[in-house]
Amino acid sequence: MMNYKKYAPYPLVTLAGRGWPEKTITKAPIWCSVDLRDGNQALPVPMSVDEKVAMFQLLVSIGFKEIEVGFPSASATEFAFVRRLVEGKLIPDDVTIQVLTQSREHLIRKTYEAIRGAKHAIVHLYNSTSTLQRDVVFRKNREEIKAIAVEGTALVRRLKEESGNTGIRFEYSPESFTGTELDYALDVCHAVMDTWGASSDNKIILNLPSTVEMSQPNIYADRIEWFCRHIKKRDAVLISVHAHNDRGTAVATAELALLAGADRVEGALFGNGERCGNMDIVTMALNLFTQGVDPELDFSDLPRIREVYQRCTRMDIHARQPYSGDLVYTAFSGSHQDAISKGMKAQPSSPDGLWAVPYLPIDPQDVGCTYEAIVRINSQSGKGGVAYVLEKDYGIQIPKWMQPDFAEAVQAVADMTGAELTSDQIHDLFHAEYVKLREPYALKKCQIKWDDEDLERNDEESTSISCIVQAVKGDLSFEAQGNGPLDAFVKGFVRVSGLDFSIDEFAEHAIGRSAGALAVAYIKIVCADGSVSFGAGIDSNISLASIKATVSALNRLP
């Protein structure tokens, strides 16, 4: 047994009449990307200046208006990157860069050097306020820790006034908010607000990070609602959240925090960041999108975003990453494939135009993905999936009564190889299984003549056929009449071969829409002894396609 008694449950919040469970997110938050700071510092090989510029330009193209670009006092690379942005005039007028600094004088001064000349900037000051870090790391009491925050804030304010740059804003984070007593976090933030001179005209960003995710998302939401209720001058404050993913629920944490009153969300593309990562902004934004809420970020070209992200960070994206992974729009399960196939066919006739396809909460095309790999085939796949692939990629619409027969053939190959079958392999197998069969019978010659001058009559044997069918024991030649070419062929073949069978099911269609399109026919035959067989034939002449399908079925008799 694992020693679960080493751990204690996270304390609950006493919050009467909590309001967040009754609310709905109807508007996107203020987004702030931390890819270039929190995401970058978590990389085994941090981004170079050129890579950071490419990432910054990507974030701008997505629509981020606030981007934390680094910790410029921490390294020469970080400082050089911020200067590249400013001096190279790479920051659009409607974008605000954000820079992080600890509450230490020389670091704050270095930070101001880095942003000199920036039109809009947020100076993000932090110090850890958690009980554990106070006691173990800093060995300081509450008042001493609060003094660090106040002194840092005072210096940030003084340096802003000295710079004369009215475009500088201020953000304060009581780091490890989730490990900090609520009353103490509030006390520190009030002291910082007073020092900054926060007002409705000079708002302060108070960032309440889940630096380490320590509780269920609902408890974090309770903490945010409690904080929003008790903070003074609520109109002077933007409440921001910065959720990490240690428990795997960072997106839920951020979403519930919005319900609880947060105004702003910090996160990273694809959840990049320390330990288990930051809150995944792609996932959260597209969650809003699927609820009919404008995310105010453009993820309509996820493949491009993925490519730049992977090139700059050298990080992979999991195949099951929500919305972004290689396999998230792919079904291998037979029942899923069948439902998706039917949903895709029904979607164009949706009366309200709303997306409604089983197992696909979002239209892949909305994020720049195609329908190419929605259904992929392996040993877990079913008849509906196999039929969907053939129809989508090759226009071959196997009728429902024949789908189980071909699916059995596909599954036999998948079981034998233990691998996924490509669309080409399935198409080749269809031809091998039905169309290309030449034994024991092969159609060598077939001439069709319509004898009845009244083309509207179909109740008499008005069609004549002359055929030669190659057989193992010698050619079978015959002439016969029927109410159509197929009926005539069956009558003639039964007479000369002695094999008694009848047509039980028949279907046909053109492959494509051009005048010269090929036709495909599908046949199910039943013999006098009860044996059943399926066949398919392809020809430019639909009558010959149906006869070839019959020969195919004869070749597949057990």
**What is the per-residue DSSP string for 121-155?**
EEEEEEEE--HHIIIIII---HHHHHHHHHHHHHH
Helix extents (H) in 325-445: 334-346, 383-394, 403-417, 423-430
Quick check: is 5 in a domain?
Answer: no
Sheet containing 441-450, strands listed edge to edge, beginning at the edge strand earlier in sequence = 441-450, 463-471, 476-482
Residue 452: the pLDDT is: 56
At residue 528, φ and ψ (nearest 5 deg) are -60, -30
In this structure, the answer to whether residues 264 and 160 fall within a common structural domain is yes
Whole-number CA gyration radius for the chain = 35
In this structure, the answer to whether residues 393 and 472 fall within a common structural domain is no
Residue 477: the pLDDT is: 96
Residue 453: the pLDDT is: 54
Quick check: is 329 in a domain?
Answer: no
Neighbouring C-beta atoms of residue 116, cutoff 10 Å: 13
Residue 196: the pLDDT is: 98
Quick check: is 150 in a domain?
Answer: yes
**Is the pLDDT assigned to residue 184 strictly greater than 80?**
yes
Number of structural domains, the chain?
A: 3
Q: How far apart are CA 149 and CA 287, in angstroms?
A: 36
The residues, ordered by sequence, that sit 6+ positions from 361 with a Cβ below 8 Å of its Cβ are: 290
pLDDT-derived band at 1, boundaries 50, 70, 90: confident
Alpha carbon dihedral 47, 50, 51, 56, in 10-degree steps, equals 110
Q: What is the mean pLDDT of residues 375-392?
A: 76
Percent of the chain with pLDDT over 70: 96
- Looking only at the bridges linking them, the beta strands covering 518-527 and 532-539 are antiparallel
Residue 68: the pLDDT is: 98
Least confident span in 55-59, 149-153, 168-172, 392-396: 392-396
In this structure, the answer to whether residues 280 and 348 fall within a common structural domain is no
**Is the pLDDT assigned to residue 192 strictly greater than 80?**
yes
In this structure, the answer to whether residues 397 and 307 fall within a common structural domain is no
Percent of the chain with pLDDT over 90: 81
Q: How far apart are CA 172 and CA 149, in angstroms?
A: 8
Q: What is the mean pLDDT of residues 192-218?
A: 97
For residue 163, give both structure tokens.
């710079």
Quick check: is 4 in a domain?
Answer: no
Least confident span in 71-85, 270-284, 330-344, 444-458: 444-458
Give the residue with greater pLDDT, 128 vs 512: 128
pTM of the model: 0.81
**Is the pLDDT assigned to residue 373 strictly greater than 70?**
no
**Is the pLDDT assigned to residue 489 strictly greater than 70?**
yes
Residue 341: the pLDDT is: 81
Q: How far is CA 380 from CA 144, 411, 412, 476, in A?
A: 62, 8, 11, 43
Q: What is the mean pLDDT of residues 386-393?
A: 86
Quick check: is 190 in a domain?
Answer: yes
Q: What is the mean pLDDT of residues 183-208?
A: 97
Q: Residue holding tokens 């090929």?
A: 518
Identify whether 440 is preceded by a cis peptide bond (ω within 30 of 0): yes
Quick check: is 11 in a domain?
Answer: no
Q: What is the mean pLDDT of residues 47-53?
A: 96
**Is the pLDDT assigned to residue 464 strictly greater than 60?**
yes
Residue 384: the pLDDT is: 77
Q: How far apart are CA 61 and CA 44, in angstroms?
A: 26
**Is the pLDDT assigned to residue 304 strictly greater than 70?**
yes
In this structure, the answer to whether residues 380 and 494 fall within a common structural domain is no
Alpha carbon dihedral 37, 59, 287, 258, in 10-degree steps, equals 50
**Is the pLDDT assigned to residue 212 strictly greater than 60?**
yes
Q: Where is the domain boundary, 415, 435, 455?
A: 435
Residue 186: the pLDDT is: 98
Q: What is the mean pLDDT of residues 87-104?
A: 97
Q: Map residue 310 onto helix, strand or coil.
A: helix
In this structure, the answer to whether residues 60 and 77 fall within a common structural domain is yes
**Is the pLDDT assigned to residue 340 strictly greater than 90?**
no
Q: Where is the domain boundary, 435, 460, 488?
A: 435
In this structure, the answer to whether residues 175 and 139 fall within a common structural domain is yes
In this structure, the answer to whether residues 283 and 239 fall within a common structural domain is yes
Q: What is the mean pLDDT of residues 223-229?
A: 98
Hey, CA dihedral for 224, 201, 107, 184, is it positive or negative? Answer: negative
Q: Where is the domain boundary, 313, 345, 374?
A: 313
Quick check: is 328 in a domain?
Answer: no
The rounded mean pLDDT for the chain is 93
The residues, ordered by sequence, that sit 6+ positions from 454 with a Cβ below 8 Å of its Cβ are: none
User: Which helix H or strand E contains 240, and what residues bound it?
Assistant: strand 237-243
Quick check: is 45 in a domain?
Answer: yes
**Is the pLDDT assigned to residue 26 strictly greater than 60?**
yes
In this structure, the answer to whether residues 472 and 419 fall within a common structural domain is no
**Is the pLDDT assigned to residue 229 strictly greater than 70?**
yes
**Is the pLDDT assigned to residue 408 strictly greater than 70?**
yes
Residue 137: the pLDDT is: 87
**Is the pLDDT assigned to residue 20 strictly greater than 60?**
yes
Residue 458: the pLDDT is: 55
The residues, ordered by sequence, that sit 6+ positions from 230 with a Cβ below 8 Å of its Cβ are: 186
* Segments forming the whole domain that contains residue 466: 441-555
Residue 461: the pLDDT is: 66
Residue 336: the pLDDT is: 81
**Is the pLDDT assigned to residue 379 strictly greater than 70?**
no
Q: Map residue 94 onto helix, strand or coil.
A: coil
Residue 236: the pLDDT is: 98
**Is the pLDDT assigned to residue 414 strictly greater than 90?**
no
In this structure, the answer to whether residues 168 and 85 fall within a common structural domain is yes
In this structure, the answer to whether residues 402 and 263 fall within a common structural domain is no
Q: Residue holding tokens 């409690």?
A: 226
Encode pLDDT of 256-285 as tens digits.
999 999 999 999 999 999 999 999 999 999
User: Which helix H or strand E contains 217, and what residues bound it?
Assistant: helix 217-230
Sheet containing 518-527, strands listed edge to edge, beginning at the edge strand earlier in sequence = 501-511, 518-527, 532-539
Q: What is the CATH number of the domain that holds 61?
A: 3.20.20.70
Q: Residue holding tokens 């039980």?
A: 504
In this structure, the answer to whether residues 166 and 61 fall within a common structural domain is yes
Q: What is the mean pLDDT of residues 29-46?
A: 96
Q: What is the CATH number of the domain that holds 539?
A: 3.30.160.270
pLDDT-derived band at 512, boundaries 50, 70, 90: confident
